[in-house]
Amino acid sequence: MTPLAHSARALNRTRPTRPAQAGAGHLRRALPPLLLMTDPDRLPDPLKAAEILPCGSGIILRHYNDPHRALLAMKLSRICHNRGLVLLVALDGCLAARVGAHGVHFPEHAVATAPPWHRRHPDWLITMTAHDSRALRRAAQAGAHAALLSPVFPTLSHPGKRTLGPLRFARLTHDSPVAVYALGGINAANAAQLNRSGAAGIAGISGIALG
Q: Provide long-range contacts, Cβ within 8 A and 24+ apart, for 100-106.
A: 101/61, 101/73, 101/77, 102/29, 102/58, 103/127, 105/60, 105/129, 106/142, 106/144
H or E segment to which residue 200 belongs: none
Under CATH, which architecture does the 3-14+28-210 domain have? Answer: Alpha-Beta Barrel (3.20)
Strands (E), the chain: 34-37, 58-61, 86-90, 103-106, 125-130, 146-149, 179-183, 201-204
DSSP string, 125-167: EEEEEESSHHHHHHHHHTT-SEEEE--SS--SSSTTPPP-HHH
With a threshold of 0.85, does the pTM exceed it? yes
Provide the residue-wise pLDDT of the chain in tens; the chain has 211 residues.
Answer: 799 999 999 999 988 766 544 445 567 678 999 999 999 999 989 999 999 999 999 999 999 999 999 999 999 999 999 999 999 999 999 999 999 999 999 999 999 999 999 899 999 999 999 999 999 999 999 999 999 999 999 987 777 789 999 999 999 999 999 999 999 999 999 999 999 999 999 999 977 876 6
How many of the other CB atoms lie within 10 Å of CB of 94? 11
